[in-house]
A and B are shown apart, each in its own frame.
Chain A
Amino acid sequence: MPRANLGTGYVVLRTHARIADLLNKQQMQRLAEAEDIDEFIMRLKETPYGDIEVERDDKIALNLEKIFIKKFTERIEEIVKITPARMGEFLHAYFDFRFEVLNVKRILRGKFTDSTPEEIADSLIPIDPYIVKDYDELVNAMTLEEVVMKLNCTSYETLIEKLPLYKEHDALWPLDLELNYIYARNILRLTEKLPASDRRIVNSLVKYETDVENVLIAIKRRGKEDVDMESIFPVTYGIDRDDLKKFIEEESLNKAIDGLDEPYRSVLEPIKTGDIALVRAMLRKGKYDAATKARAGNQFGFNVILAFLVYSEIEKDNLVGLAWGEVQGLSPEQLLKYIVIPWD
């Protein structure tokens, strides 16, 4: 048996065991029903998260968010460490690249509004740099243009081409959109390193996410004339530019949604009732369903590892939301409405 296969088998076995450690529906519900944040932390102690040490100041929700992200990145590291080289490299990219893109966006936002380096540094996800050399170098740059120029000769260098558009509109969206596409393009390129059988799930996840984001961007531009479809939507997959144009121009948004195929129609359904935030929950649910379907198709391969990491990310997002809601004193009903806890 080739060494790589033996490695994959071992990782899959470990991953199956780790999936059992994920919080189940009852545990998540119990956390949502906590009276306050102190009880939430007490209840979290009964889960695999164990005792959590957190500074109980007015930034407790932000502190907890950092802890949950750290726990999630530790899970990725743990899996990546034992995963055969190519697969590990891909998983590392899939998650770390995504977080780095978020960090770059946050640095650009900070520079755009002249935030202090301390404020920007405080907003960053605590991960090691993936493509950029050093976050501090970017955080301490004098201007946004300087940050972008420092990214020359990296995967982010196409941002430089978007600088004139940024200056023309005095807005961040051209850089924001470009970062989304840099991520999607690079991840899809990295999938080429994976065996063809493993590629399908990653492709479907990345394309699905990009398509839904494209629709949300189109909805934000509703009613606007002369939208440059090519520059706003440089990459499209399951929903083409003609369909996206309908979201901008069609009088009835419902009609545009109904014109889409599944799974997009279901994901965007909450927009009809004006509950836009629920789309994000549906997007997560869609990713969960896709990962679960792929996992069910092959219980002994890469799909299981990716599914575990997708579940872990959803769990992290859920815990971040729950912690914030507990600090705000929201009711369990309000909390659970936007939390995806589909696993039993």
Chain B
Amino acid sequence: MSATSGVRPTKGYLMETKRRIQTIERGTEFLKLKRDQLAKELTESLDVLKGRRGLMMNNLQEAYSALTAAYLSLGPTEVQSQTRSIKNTLELEVLPRSVMGVIYPSIKIKETPETGAELDITLAHAAEKVYEIIEELIRLAEFEERVSRIAEELGTTSRKVNALENMVIPDMKYTIKFIEDKLDEESMEELVRMKLIGGTR
């Protein structure tokens, strides 16, 4: 469908279109700012994510070693029996948070299991390490989701900016030019008509 189909070549429509293009151009500038900011946020977040994942692997190794040591020291049946004595569990609350209009889930730890008093010190040490990992995993999952949503929003914003810059604004400019040409043509015709009428008198 042509950009000018359904266009009314009137002065009112021209003024309306010019007003719209101004708003769209201003919106595009804002979207560009948002896109740049999101890209910056994403680049920084990816660096943080990489660092956090590396740290996570180290901590995971430490927690696994502590747990292995507990199993080797106490035996599997005793470890299983002792871990059963932990009554309360990890309780989480998921809340929505927003960064530059991007909503992502934020996880709040409401209750943590109390392991120290009930477990053998070897197992309590391992449990502490494992709990640290769980907490980090939660934070990492939250951060990954945030990064993923920022990336998604960046894609959407870029597509919007491209569409506005390459399609909508050129189409509207074309429409404006079309209307202006039409109006010029009409005023020329009017002028000629007036001159012709004047000549016959």
- Which residues of A does B touch, CB under 8 Å? 61-62, 65-66, 102, 105-106, 109-110, 112-113, 115, 119, 123, 125, 169-173, 176, 216-217, 219-221, 275-281, 317, 320-321, 324-325, 328, 330, 334-335, 337-339
Q: Shortest Cβ distance from B90 into chain A, in angstroms?
A: 16
Q: State A170–B120 Cα separation when bound (angstroms).
A: 17
Specify which chain B residues have a CB less than 8 angstroms from the CB of A321 in the assembled complex.
Answer: 71-73, 75
Question: Is there a chain A Cβ closer than 8 Å to B68's Cβ?
Answer: yes
Asked if B66 is an interface residue, CB under 8 A from chain A, the answer is yes
Using A172-B118, A220-B124, A276-B121 as known contacts, say yes or no to A324 and B84 having CB atoms under 8 A apart: no
A and B contact pairs by CB, cutoff 8 A, 8 listed:
A62-B77, A62-B80, A65-B76, A171-B117, A173-B118, A278-B69, A324-B75, A337-B72
| Chain A residues near B116 (CB-CB < 8 A) | 220-221
Cβ of B152 within 8 Å of any chain A Cβ, yes or no, is no
B150 at the interface (CB under 8 A from A): no
Indicate whether A277 sits within 8 Å of B69 (C-beta atoms), given known contacts A65-B75, A123-B77, A220-B124. Answer: yes
- Cross-chain contact A113 with B80 (CB below 8 angstroms): no
Q: How far is the CB of A76 from chain B (nearest CB, A)?
A: 18
Query: What B residues does A276 contact at CB under 8 A?
Result: 66, 69, 121-122, 125
Using C-beta atoms within 8 Å of the partner chain, give the interface range for chain B. 20 to 34
Measured CA separation A334–B77 after assembly (Å): 20
Which residues of A sit under 8 angstroms from B69, Cβ to Cβ?
A: 275-278, 337-338
Q: Is B14 an interface residue (CB 8 A)?
A: no
Dominant SS among interface residues on chain B: helix
0/1 interface trace, chain B 75-88, chain A, CB 8 Å (1 if under): 11110111011110
A330–B65 Cα gap in the complex (Å)? 10
**Binary interface profile of B, 116-132, with partner A (CB < 8 Å = 1, else 0)?**
11101110111000000
B72 & A277 in contact (Cβ 8 Å cutoff)? yes
Q: Which interface residue of B65, B78, B85 has the most chain A CB atoms within 10 A?
A: B85
Tell yes or no: B74 within 8 A of A by CB: yes
Complex alpha-carbon distance, A339 and B71, angstroms: 11
User: In the complex, are the beta carbons of B68 and A113 less than 8 A apart?
Assistant: no
Q: A113 touches which one: B71, B77, B78, B87 (CB < 8 A)?
A: B87
Which residues of A lie under 8 Å from residue B82 when comparing CB positions?
Answer: 109
B74 — which chain A residues lie within 8 A by C-beta?
280
Distance (Å) between the CB of B72 and the closest chain A CB? 4
Asked if A281 meets B76 with Cβ closer than 8 Å, knowing A109-B85, A220-B116, the reply is no
Question: Which B115-166 residues sit within 8 Å CB-CB of chain A?
Answer: 116-118, 120-122, 124-126
Centre residue among B76, B81, B122 by max chain A CB count within 10 A: B81
Establish whether residues B68 and A330, one from each chain, have CB atoms under 8 Å apart when the complex forms: yes
B77 A280 Cβ-Cβ under 8 A: no
Whether A277 contacts B80 by the Cβ 8 Å rule is no
Closest Cβ of chain A to B1, distance in Å, is: 65
6 closest Cβ pairs, A-B complex:
A277-B69, A280-B73, A338-B72, A321-B72, A109-B85, A216-B121
Cβ of B176: which chain A residues have Cβ within 8 Å of it?
A: none
By a CB distance below 8 angstroms, the chain B residues around A119 are: 84
Write the chain B residue with the least CB distance to A105: B81
Q: Which of A62, A220, A325, A339 has the most CB of B within 10 A?
A: A220
| Residues of chain B with a CB closer than 8 A to A217's CB | 121
Known: A62-B77, A169-B117. 20 other contacts (CB 8 A): A65-B75, A109-B81, A113-B85, A113-B86, A123-B84, A171-B114, A171-B117, A217-B121, A220-B121, A275-B69, A276-B66, A277-B70, A277-B122, A321-B73, A321-B75, A324-B71, A324-B72, A325-B71, A328-B68, A328-B71
